[in-house]
Structure 1
């Protein structure tokens, strides 16, 4: 199994490795000869460890690869000894699209070294995972990488030396977003859920709800206004007020018909979870098309939310790691109905937290992440602003609900002539 995994990772010595620590990627590379470089930061942080391991999931089947990546993380968390430290990692060819391979990095102390090795040997017998061990030399600054195959430690050219690597021009995940974290066509998202049918029975139920096909449509007779924003920015209050004031239909994305399966798909890996929510937008678009022939339509969240959260989750670290403004990852899907106007409600972070506390409702994992990870919140907000076709118009949601309503009505009347 390990030999087959290795065959799926060409140009091994040209690859860069990224380990997520403290919410940001840290990079290292390998080379056959050591030229006096100091140990990469990841390994300087591991000076109290006897050795480290990397596990990279290498299946050629992307559905299996996504499922196994999640299952591997759960298995490692359950079975690794208390003295081990587990971090997400990846391997990629710098600035090469779709070369990203995900996995985990394990730091091990002397007491937990033997049980960890037994666990990893068992893994590579049956699963599509490539294991490498990292051994510290007599000089504490010198670490070497060794590949495992068929439960044996194999030295390749007596191991590769581990050396620092500069950050690539693009965050590794930024080149892997299209039709993986964010979907840009009905067919791409549909194909993922279709392939899940044998392993996720609920996928078949979701597919039965979908329109027969998505196609580029002319705009409905009446305007379509989307209201976006983080939780507790006042979306529900505003959308209901707009419905009543304009005599409009009010729709939500994801649509209510997907509610029975959301908990199931929220537990799936990103590829499958994001495809599920992408298809929810196409169901909402079908509903918009029907309602928009009779009345204006207000939509509580739409594709902007789906894309912004996915991009901000995939790309870790500071804002500069996001794909540049104007990147193709921010483009609107060509086969998805475009709204007439998109309003983004913004709110001071402390005020938003105060409102969340007053609501006392349970939070999604992403909302919990927004609360304790400022960088994640900033990435979500910036991704919202960079999505085009149409772009969001920001509205300050801190005034009273009536003042916000009046400001949004002015925008609607100016843009949509209502």
Structure 2
């Protein structure tokens, strides 16, 4: 048994467990002195649809290595979907110690529909448990001996049984305990370290490392000769049109993040778990920062997306649920990395959702995975937009992009004149 697994088990009774069920999150904990009853709303929501002769299971990934654990968890979903009985329902699950950073572990909750599917699921999990050390497995047993059925968690790795009781939702989303330098990177070295650890197993990571600046972040801080202007916003808000208009009007240089030099590997890392995908985009920002430093002595620089996009999408993806689940304004999670060049001005183009959808249809382009998520999941879009607004140092200045391209250009030129003295 790995040290990570032993550490998890040593404080198992102090942990809170969360399961996403039908768009809501159910929290429960262990309390052997007060076994959970089906009459409790939260427990009923989790177990109420389970048949009397079937069980539920949870599978957690407990590897001590952060990258290995992330990749194992990412691959486990496909492995479960391909191998489990068709009647078995799979839901995201996590476990954490309240208010303890980096205590979050991810897994899946399995709901079986019959005695046969329960037996098949258990055989499969026992086979995997013998082969895969990072796995931590529990089954959830229903006791029908009393008038009010109770549920018990049976921890396979320790041969322990615990009564289940509902738990209050934490004051903030549990994933916030794990965001720093896993979903959002706040230094060049933290992002680079992730790629160094996986370079032996992912050749593309080694290729990206070869392009990185040795010293990391940016050149010693100095006031740039020309302003650095970042344009942010969802797809179809007019960023490309505005970028080109500003280039022509100001005689500016256009840069993008991720930069062209690593774009060939973008699709590859979009297929990896969040820690690798977000590290890739973070490193792209630092490469772009180096390019900015070389250009600002010659011309103004216009950047099509930068760290705001990287952080906003990462936070909105990691924290499922309503906007109120986001970290509060002023949280360290919204702070600009201290070693990343700060732009002179960040403009966030906003657009009515229906108008944005119309523009997307007129483009006739296929949707990216994140774009599809924006359209199909209103809460996700709201989280992205709110995260944009909360990032500080510098903050975004919102500009309504529903006017004509010329009117939007004039609005932004006025901002540049006021903020950048151009």
Show the counterpart of 1:312: 316
Q: How far, CA to CA, are the matches of 2:110 and 2:149 in structure 1?
A: 18
Aligned residues: 412
Q: How far, CA to CA, are the matches of 2:35 and 2:95 in structure 1?
A: 23
> Which one of the candidate residues 320, 335, 340 is aligned to 1:331?
335
Once the two structures are TM-superposed, the CA of residue 35 in structure 1 deviates from its matched residue by: 5.4
Give RMSD over aligned pairs.
1.6
Show the counterpart of 2:383: 379
Q: How far, CA to CA, are the matches of 1:103 and 1:266 in structure 2?
A: 21
Q: How far, CA to CA, are the matches of 1:207 and 1:219 in structure 2?
A: 28
Show the counterpart of 1:279: 283
Q: How far, CA to CA, are the matches of 2:66 and 2:34 in structure 1?
A: 36
More off after superposition, 23-32 vs 185-194: 23-32
Distance 1:14 1:42, change over 3 A: farther
In the TM superposition, 1:95-114 aligns within 5 A as 95-110=99-114, 111-114=116-119
- Structure 2 residue runs without a partner (length 5+): none
1:351 aligned counterpart, secondary structure:
helix
- Structure 1 residue runs without a partner (length 5+): none
Q: String of CA shifts for 1:359-390, please: whole Å, max 9, x gaps.
A: 12122211111001000000000000000000
Once the two structures are TM-superposed, the CA of residue 71 in structure 1 deviates from its matched residue by: 1.0
Is structure 2 residue 409 aligned with structure 1 residue 405?
yes
Distance 1:359 1:102, change over 3 A: same
In the TM superposition, 1:26-65 aligns within 5 A as 26-34=26-34, 37=37, 38-39=39-40, 40-48=43-51, 50-65=54-69
Q: Given that residues 2 and 63 in structure 2 are in contact (C-alpha distance below 8 angstroms), is that contact kept between their aligned partners in structure 1?
A: no
Show the counterpart of 2:171: 169
Q: Given that residues 197 and 204 in structure 1 are in contact (C-alpha distance below 8 angstroms), is that contact kept between their aligned partners in structure 2?
A: yes
In the TM superposition, 1:226-245 aligns within 5 A as 226-245=230-249
Distance 1:355 1:10, change over 3 A: farther
Q: String of CA shifts for 1:292-347, please: whole Å, max 9, x gaps.
A: 11000000000000000000011110111100000000000000000000000001
Once the two structures are TM-superposed, the CA of residue 396 in structure 1 deviates from its matched residue by: 0.4
Q: How far, CA to CA, are the matches of 1:233 and 1:202 in structure 2?
A: 32
> Which one of the candidate residues 392, 395, 398 is aligned to 2:396?
392
Q: Given that residues 44 and 141 in structure 1 are in contact (C-alpha distance below 8 angstroms), is that contact kept between their aligned partners in structure 2?
A: no
Once the two structures are TM-superposed, the CA of residue 44 in structure 1 deviates from its matched residue by: 3.6
TM-score by length of 2: 0.94
Is structure 2 residue 89 aligned with structure 1 residue 85?
yes
Show the counterpart of 1:208: 210
Show the counterpart of 1:345: 349
Q: How far, CA to CA, are the matches of 2:247 and 2:9 in structure 1?
A: 54
Q: How far, CA to CA, are the matches of 2:29 and 2:238 in structure 1?
A: 47
Once the two structures are TM-superposed, the CA of residue 3 in structure 1 deviates from its matched residue by: 9.0
Q: How far, CA to CA, are the matches of 2:223 and 2:353 in structure 1?
A: 36
Q: Given that residues 35 and 163 in structure 2 are in contact (C-alpha distance below 8 angstroms), is that contact kept between their aligned partners in structure 1?
A: no
Distance 1:348 1:100, change over 3 A: same
More off after superposition, 331-340 vs 3-12: 3-12
Distance 1:344 1:267, change over 3 A: same
Q: String of CA shifts for 1:69-105, please: whole Å, max 9, x gaps.
A: 0111110011111100001110001121111000111
Distance 1:30 1:2, change over 3 A: farther
Q: How far, CA to CA, are the matches of 1:349 and 1:52 in structure 2?
A: 40
Distance 1:36 1:5, change over 3 A: closer
More off after superposition, 3-12 vs 59-68: 3-12
Distance 1:369 1:9, change over 3 A: farther
Q: Given that residues 19 and 26 in structure 2 are in contact (C-alpha distance below 8 angstroms), is that contact kept between their aligned partners in structure 1?
A: yes
Distance 1:71 1:36, change over 3 A: closer
The structure 1 segments of at least 4 consecutive aligned residues displaced by more than 6 Å after TM superposition are none
Show the counterpart of 2:371: 367
Q: Given that residues 50 and 113 in structure 2 are in contact (C-alpha distance below 8 angstroms), is that contact kept between their aligned partners in structure 1?
A: no
Once the two structures are TM-superposed, the CA of residue 221 in structure 1 deviates from its matched residue by: 1.1
